[in-house]
Chains A and B, each alone.
Chain A
Amino acid sequence: MSGPAPAPPPWDYETALKHDRRVEQIILIKEILIIVFIVALVILRVAFVR
């Protein structure tokens, strides 16, 4: 069954704000993980590649 696309949800200030804050916090977590990953790579490189 196909029909018209559902109407987008109306603007909800609180929900949007909560979502956007979470996006920013997730970016912070991703940054920390990537830094840890790169530091681990550098350590491995120094330890094993001559």
Chain B
Amino acid sequence: MQILLDGVYGVLTAMVLAGTLPLLASLYLFATIGRHGLRNHYRAVADYAPRCAIVVPAWNEGAVVGTTIDRLVSLDYPEGALRVYVVDDASTDNTPDVVQAKMLEYPGAVVHVRREQGGQGKAHTLNAGLERILSEEFAEAILILDADVIFERDALRKMARHLADPTVGAVTAYIKEGSQPPNWMNRFIGFEYITAQAAARRAQNVLGAMACLAGGAQLHSRVSLEAIGGRIDTSSLAEDTFTTFMTQREGRDAVFDGNAVVWAEEPTDIAGLWKQRLRWARGNVQVSSRYRWIWFRRDRDKRLGSFSFAILWFTIFLMPVFMIAAATSLVILFFVDFPLSWKLFHVLWIINAIVYLFVTLFSFTIDPYTARRTWFQGIMFPGAIALIIIIYTCFPPLFTVYVDGAMRWLGIPPGHLFVSATILFVYVWLAASMLAAWAAKLLEQRGKLRIVSPLLIYISGYGPLLCAITFAAYISEARGAEMKWDKTEKSGKVAVA
């Protein structure tokens, strides 16, 4: 009986400690970034500007596509070496008129590829453009982007220089959230993009395996694109990730240049974010399943099969599972072995505190401009309640002295029941924060209560909101939900800083 009990305690302890895995993976990822200063691809670049075809998928982008073309044509790039292919996915607004006008304005530099039957998704639209481009001799490199993004003038030059190295198949840039003026959600996304792009992709450069080329800015060499079939995968919701994986599977590197900057407009509310990220997260479920034979198998793929890449991939992909497992185990241990649960709770949250401090401070310094715009959202990323728990685990006297005093002043007896309820609440918060973030999404759709939803995200956290979306993606995929391309609405309010 004792052996059985020890086994159960061992499993519960392991489940709580598994909750530290995503944290430790983040710590490893961010600790790797600095090495990019010593080990980057700049040693192999050259002043190289291949003839470049730019594919702009456009569906009802009349508000933004004209500006996009103007900016692309005026990029700092050798004259005659750029051609913009706007693939109009059966738009019903004035997109065709805008593109036709730009063709007259920039003769030979703009091509209108019209699809009469659209709505099949971005990958199909891109393929129509790629088919046209690869049927012509012009392109030595192909830039795939979104219609609403704005490239800084030297961004394409900075990306193209990496293609001087024939071992590089594709290059991606740093996409920044550039809505002007930004609202609270734009600011959260702006900070998230420092961590997920400027930081994580530098680390992936060092590790030699790229998880995903940013859909809004990916430059492929023609040779590489032809080697993967000259087409973008249409069988999933993660065409960018599949393209990235296929490029690397063909033996070429995918490289990130954090100094090539592209500005994009991102969702302004929870519903918009949920729609966009559910598609991404479902795509990641599909990628994880499709490439199940290479995970942790370096003998099958030295880049994507590496242990470090698989750990980084799965700790993010399975983060909701780790959070739920840790919270559930803590609650069970609370009832069966409180001292053990209390110790594990502290281990979990002290690691959380160290990782939070490191990731937040380091992210601020990697992109100081965005940090000035998003510092508050960066601090509030895990949510107010998680921050209070972090402060408590680091400085318990703050609570034992001041909170006790405050409770007495308010007339709340610090009895056993209150303390137990509070402890249970903080134990369960890792999982409950996802529920609270989901509740914020529901509130956003409820008329007057809509104004409460941002507040609820500040309390529950933007990180838990992303985890809730990932969890929703598991459910959607398990239910075999329809693979529908839900386009993110854009208003053209993005601007270069």
Point out residues on A near B: beta carbons under 8 Å: 8, 10-11, 13, 16-17, 19-21, 23-32, 34-35, 37-38, 41-42, 45, 49-50
Taking CB atoms, residues of chain B closer than 8 Å to A24 are: 36-37, 40, 42, 202, 258
Contacts of B40 in A (CB 8 A): 21, 24
Tell me the total A-B contact number using a CB cutoff of 8 A: 75
Cβ B365 vs Cβ A30 within 8 A: yes
| Contact flag A20-B158 (CB < 8 Å), given A27-B34, A28-B35, A28-B38 | yes
Closest Cβ of chain A to B356, distance in Å, is 10
Known interface pairs A11-B154, A34-B365. Does A27 touch B37 (Cβ–Cβ under 8 Å)? yes
**Cβ A30 vs Cβ B36 within 8 A:** no
- A48 to chain B: closest CB distance in Å? 10
Q: Are B354 and A38 in contact (CB under 8 A)?
A: yes
- Interface size for B (C-beta < 8 A) is 33
Q: Does B259 contact A (CB under 8 A)?
A: yes
Looking at A17, A19, A41, the one whose CB has the most chain B CB atoms below 10 A away is A17
**CB within 8 A of A31: which of B34, B76, B161, B258?**
B34
Interface centre among B362, B394, B396 (most CB of A within 10 A): B362
A30 & B394 in contact (Cβ 8 Å cutoff): no
Q: Is B366 an interface residue (CB 8 A)?
A: yes
* Contact of A28 with B394 at beta-carbon distance under 8 Å, contacts A13-B47, A35-B358 already known: no
Q: Is B8 an interface residue (CB 8 A)?
A: no
Shortest CB distance A34–B (Å): 5
B395 and A49: CB pair below 8 A? yes
In the complex the two chains form, what is the Cα distance from A29 to B38 in whole Å?
11
Interface string of B332-363 (1 = CB under 8 A from A): 00000000000000000000001001100110
Contact of B358 among A20, A27, A34 (CB under 8 A): A34
Please state if B42 and A31 are interface contacts (CB–CB under 8 Å).
no
